[in-house]
Amino acid sequence: MKIILILALNIIITSQALYAAQQVKIIALAGDVKIRRGLDEHWQTASNAVTLENIDTILTGEAGEVTLKMENGDKFTLGSNSILDIADLREITERELFLYLMSQKIDKIGPREGKTKLKIGRVNVVHGELKSDSAKLNSQPDQRTDWLLEKNGARALFGQNYTTNAIFKFNKILLKYPDITGCGELNFHIGQAFEKLNKPGQAADAYKQAIKINSGDCAGETSSWVVQSEAALKQLNQ
Amino acid sequence: MVRFFEKKVVMTMLVLTCAIIMDSEMLNAQGISRKNGIGFRPSFWKTNRSEALISVSGSRVELGGAGTWFTFFSRFNNDWFYEFQFGAFASVVAKRVSDSVIEDEDVTLIIPFLLGARYDFWATRNQSALQPYFSFGAGPYWITNVDRPGTDVGTFTGTVDSGMMTGGYLGGGLNIALTSWLAFNFDLKYHFVDWDRSADYSGINFGAGVNFMWGQKRELIRVVGVKTIVSDIYPAYYQFYNSYPLAMVTIKNMSGSSIEVNIRSNIRYFSERPKETGFIKIKGKETKDIPITTILGNKIRQVKQRENAVIDISVEARAGSKVTKKVSSLVMIHNPNSWNGEMDKLVFFVKSDDDRILNWGRSLVNGLETETGDFLRNFTIAKAVFDTLSSTNIRYHSDPNIPFYRDDRVNFAHETIDLKSGDCDDLVVLYASILESLGINTAFVEVRDPEKELAHLFLLFDTGLSADMGNLISSNEKRYLTRNNRVGKKTVWIPVETTLINDGFESAWKTGALEFLQNTEIRSGLAEGWVNIIEVE
């Protein structure tokens, strides 16, 4: 019985994996390139002609670069200091993209607040506060690095005309790292991608968001993103 | 003495009449409440040929017209009645010259047979016992005229004319309903005999009498329909029905004024007590849908096999009088382990306060080396619980096939432990019950893959770690997800495929994570709506 059950589950899981199977092949690589299989904990060094599946992830280091070949023959190049899930190269239709964006908006609405709120005045002692803070502080540098790697991956998607995929990815990064604004960089890229999709309304919203972010955390910084967003918005309005 | 007695009788009659009228407003609001009636009404009829109604001048006597009406009426629509009337009226003009000679003696007898309609125009607009109406009709008038010029009393020389004319009437009146079966009646009509207003026998007729009524009472409310919303009751989540409507009762106020309606519902044998909606106002002629709920108690959990039960619905309307209507409906009571497949209802099977589950979980945790403030406490406990369940040889086993039964069977956590087996929902309920009893939040993931026939279910539990601390559990973020917990804080959650109960936590976690990754991240199941996450609260 146990064997039958395991076999059945394996069939289900394998069939799920095959359903959206997006096999890609490494056809060229240079420098530090690593891959991670599915849910593995560890990275392994990539090599030429290795086939990757949609649950796998690819990472490039300083001066690393890898070229992938899709099932349909298209090629995709990932530059240095980037991370990309192979699933991000799957075909994402505009319908899927907007469904995703809408579901994110709905999630942001949150549950309705009750009439009576439990209010806690002052809390003088919070057990475990120190530990928690230290753990958070330790995670900050890693988060910044991860954000940078993922952003570069998303930019690679945008640069190679995976426009819907890029918007999908930029939004996921925004959601995943709410504390890292990037001074509006991601929103600027989202605006550009929407312009490419001929969606001026959404593009304008993204540019406005980029300008808004810039005037917040990044006020005072000399950021090109705000200048570029304002210029793009001006051009859109014309 | 006699005069005092008469006065007392008159006063008593007056008081009684007033009391009856006042009481009739309570008993008999909305006008003539019965369907049929007969009436008797003495009346005067002043025809055009009479100079006066009653006149006595010297030796000349003139009686313009007097007689009585007998009527029968019957309601054919809310405020409309047919009425059939016939009567007999006589008018006399005579002048006595001497004891033996009468000059110009003229006697007329009118016998009308009339069919008409009456409209109680105020009946649905007030609640009073005073009900005005107007009426109209037509029919034959049988007229006999005896004309005797001056002659001796003992001899008859003159002419007798007799014939039938048609005509009609138009008029109105007032009924004072004393009880539902008795009313005073005042009536005024103009009769157009020979369809000529100025014809000899045309004229005003007025009188007062009584009406006796019988038959079906007038409808104050109508139960237009009872729409069953819940035809199947599942004892596992019986509390749900205390606030969720079982049925929608549609009620129409048939009267013209506002009434108040209270609906009492009761499931025979299973309700703790009847549930009342409280009095709800319904405007005149308005139709309203009123949802009804019920109060179910523990008794419903004693059902061994599914069985039918009767919902008694009693509608009580209040508008001066009280009217009660009763309707019934059937529901199916399922057995306590039945589940209709709605994922949000599966959470009702998670009983984190079950003593056996509490003790089971606590004895396990007491043996673990976890400290308060340990970031991985939830994760460690959840892992230990799963691995302990694995070691107890609980196995995956599909539900029994019950012919013609579409519902699923779900075991409560202690039942799965006793049976040492369960299908995916049983195992999810078991694991969730234990974790919840230990204070670890859980959620169900329902996958209704459009490409597959069967739905699947697995579990998420909250590690309590903030979203940026996932790396304490795994360096591969595909093995967990971040989502808001019950207090709105973004935390790390672990997916677990509970059917892999025999393979240990690591395998169940990996499989659960892969399922989540494939269905939600790669195939956008959450955005497309075929993957749902349901909080166990």
Do B32 and B127 lie in one domain? The reply is yes
Please judge whether B513 and A128 are an interchain contact, meaning their C-beta atoms are less than 8 angstroms apart. Answer: no
Please judge whether A39 and B468 are an interchain contact, meaning their C-beta atoms are less than 8 angstroms apart. Answer: no
Please judge whether A41 and B476 are an interchain contact, meaning their C-beta atoms are less than 8 angstroms apart. Answer: yes
Is B216 part of the contact surface with chain A (CB cutoff 8 Å)? no
Q: Is the pLDDT of residue A76 over 70?
A: yes
In sequence order, the 6+-apart residues with CB closer than 8 A to the CB of B330 are B231, B308, B309, B310, B311
Do B49 and B138 lie in one domain? The reply is yes
Would you give the DSSP letter of residue A4? H
Do A98 and A75 lie in one domain? The reply is no
Do A100 and A52 lie in one domain? The reply is no
Do A99 and A212 lie in one domain? The reply is yes
Is B528 part of the contact surface with chain A (CB cutoff 8 Å)? yes
For chain B, what is the domain count? 3
Do A74 and A184 lie in one domain? The reply is no
% of chain A beyond a pLDDT of 70: 72
Do B140 and B279 lie in one domain? The reply is no
- pLDDT tens sequence across A172-209: 999 888 888 788 889 999 999 999 999 999 999 999 98
Is A87 part of the contact surface with chain B (CB cutoff 8 Å)? yes
User: Which residues numbered 176-195 in A keep a CB inside 8 Å of some CB on B?
Assistant: 176
For residue B507, what are its two tokens?
């395998």
Using only C-alpha atoms, chain A has a radius of gyration, in whole angstroms, of: 21
- In chain B, the residue whose alpha carbon lies closest to the alpha carbon of A18 is B518
Q: How much is the pLDDT for B99? A: 64
Is B420 part of the contact surface with chain A (CB cutoff 8 Å)? no
Do B265 and B401 lie in one domain? The reply is no
Domain end residue (candidates: B333, B356, B387)? B333
**Integer Cα distance of A179 and A160 in angstroms:** 28
Closest CA to A48 of A29, A64, A21, A32: A29
- pLDDT tens sequence across B171-208: 999 999 888 889 999 999 999 999 999 998 899 999 99
Do B212 and B131 lie in one domain? The reply is yes
In sequence order, the 6+-apart residues with CB closer than 8 A to the CB of B98 are none
**Integer Cα distance of A52 and A37 in angstroms:** 8
For residue A166, what are its two tokens?
């890029």
For residue A90, give the nearest of B474, B519, B522 by CB distance.
B522
Is B502 part of the contact surface with chain A (CB cutoff 8 Å)? yes
Do B304 and B393 lie in one domain? The reply is no
Is B466 part of the contact surface with chain A (CB cutoff 8 Å)? yes
Do A98 and A77 lie in one domain? The reply is no
What are the distances in angstroms from CA B143 to CA B61, B147, B161, B196? 21, 13, 8, 15
In whole numbers, what is the pLDDT of chain B averaged over residues?
A: 85
Compare B11 and A166 and report the one with higher pLDDT: A166
Please judge whether B528 and A99 are an interchain contact, meaning their C-beta atoms are less than 8 angstroms apart. Answer: yes
Q: How much is the pLDDT for A205? A: 93
Would you give the DSSP letter of residue B326? E
- In chain B, the residue whose alpha carbon lies closest to the alpha carbon of A35 is B476
Q: How much is the pLDDT for B98? A: 65
Is A110 part of the contact surface with chain B (CB cutoff 8 Å)? yes
**Integer Cα distance of B496 and B430 in angstroms:** 13
Do A229 and A152 lie in one domain? The reply is yes
Do B159 and B305 lie in one domain? The reply is no
Domain end residue (candidates: B194, B217, B240)? B217
**Is residue B112 within 8 Å of B143, Cβ to Cβ?**
no
> What ipTM does the predicted assembly reach?
0.77
Do B102 and B205 lie in one domain? The reply is yes
A224/chain B closest Cα distance in angstroms: 29
Do B346 and B467 lie in one domain? The reply is yes
CB pairs under 8 A between A and B: 89
Do A169 and A55 lie in one domain? The reply is no
In sequence order, the 6+-apart residues with CB closer than 8 A to the CB of B295 are B242, B271, B272, B273, B274, B275
Compare A16 and B532 and report the one with higher pLDDT: B532
**Integer Cα distance of B349 and B327 in angstroms:** 33
Do A98 and A85 lie in one domain? The reply is no
Do B150 and B267 lie in one domain? The reply is no
CATH number of the domain enclosing A233: 1.25.40.10
User: Which residues numbered 194-223 in A keep a CB inside 8 Å of some CB on B?
Assistant: none
**Is residue B69 within 8 Å of B46, Cβ to Cβ?**
no
**Integer Cα distance of B335 and A89 in angstroms:** 50
- pLDDT tens sequence across A44-63: 999 999 999 999 999 999 98
Please judge whether A55 and B478 are an interchain contact, meaning their C-beta atoms are less than 8 angstroms apart. Answer: yes
Q: How much is the pLDDT for B16? A: 60
- pLDDT tens sequence across A110-158: 655 544 444 433 333 333 333 333 333 344 557 888 899 999 999 999 9
Whether A154 maps to a domain, the answer reads yes
Do A177 and A228 lie in one domain? The reply is yes
Element spanning A141, H or E? helix A129-159
Please judge whether B522 and A39 are an interchain contact, meaning their C-beta atoms are less than 8 angstroms apart. Answer: no
Q: What is the pLDDT tens value at each position of chain B, 537 positions in all?
A: 445 555 666 677 666 655 555 444 444 444 567 889 999 999 999 888 877 777 777 777 778 889 999 999 999 887 889 999 999 999 887 776 666 666 667 888 999 999 999 998 877 666 677 889 999 999 999 999 888 776 665 666 678 889 999 999 999 999 998 888 899 999 999 999 999 999 988 999 999 999 999 988 777 788 888 898 988 999 988 888 888 899 999 999 887 678 889 999 999 888 888 999 999 999 888 999 999 998 888 888 888 888 999 999 999 987 656 778 888 888 999 989 998 888 888 999 998 888 999 998 888 888 777 665 678 889 999 999 999 998 888 888 776 555 444 678 899 999 999 988 888 889 999 999 999 999 999 999 999 888 887 888 999 999 999 888 888 899 999 999 998 888 888 899 999 999 999 899 999 999 999 999 999 888 888 888 899 999 997
Q: Which residues of B touch A176 (CB under 8 A)?
A: 482
Do B203 and B301 lie in one domain? The reply is no
**Integer Cα distance of B110 and B92 in angstroms:** 12
SS3 B212: strand
Q: Which residues form the domain of A182?
A: 94-105+145-237
Domain end residue (candidates: A89, A113, A132)? A89
Q: Which residues of B touch A55 (CB under 8 A)?
A: 478, 514, 517-518, 522
Interface mutation target, options A2, A16, A59, chain B, most CBs of B under 10 Å: A16
Please judge whether B375 and A127 are an interchain contact, meaning their C-beta atoms are less than 8 angstroms apart. Answer: no
Do A82 and A163 lie in one domain? The reply is no
Is A106 part of the contact surface with chain B (CB cutoff 8 Å)? no
Domain end residue (candidates: A89, A114, A135)? A89
- In chain A, the residue whose alpha carbon lies closest to the alpha carbon of B522 is A87
Domain end residue (candidates: B217, B243, B258)? B217
For residue A143, give the nearest of B395, B468, B528 by CB distance.
B468
CA dihedral B347, B351, B353, B359 (to 10 degrees): -130
Whether A135 maps to a domain, the answer reads no
For chain A, what is the domain count? 2
Whether A116 maps to a domain, the answer reads no
For residue B524, give the nearest of A16, A100, A136 by CB distance.
A100
Q: How much is the pLDDT for B3? A: 52
CATH number of the domain enclosing B274: 2.60.40.10
Q: How much is the pLDDT for B406? A: 61
Do A99 and A85 lie in one domain? The reply is no
- In chain B, the residue whose alpha carbon lies closest to the alpha carbon of A126 is B373
Is B471 part of the contact surface with chain A (CB cutoff 8 Å)? yes
**Is residue A205 within 8 Å of A236, Cβ to Cβ?**
no
Closest CA to A55 of A80, A25, A23, A81: A23
Whether A126 maps to a domain, the answer reads no
Do B84 and B205 lie in one domain? The reply is yes
B236/chain A closest Cα distance in angstroms: 26
Please judge whether A103 and B527 are an interchain contact, meaning their C-beta atoms are less than 8 angstroms apart. Answer: yes
Whether A6 maps to a domain, the answer reads no
Do A169 and A212 lie in one domain? The reply is yes
In whole numbers, what is the pLDDT of chain A averaged over residues?
A: 78
Is A119 part of the contact surface with chain B (CB cutoff 8 Å)? no
- In chain B, the residue whose alpha carbon lies closest to the alpha carbon of A118 is B487
In sequence order, the 6+-apart residues with CB closer than 8 A to the CB of B49 are B91, B108, B200, B201
Q: Which residues form the domain of B383?
A: 339-535
SS3 B149: coil
Which DSSP string corresponds to B366-394? HTS---TT-TTHHHHHHHHHHHHHHHTT-
**Is residue B263 within 8 Å of B290, Cβ to Cβ?**
yes
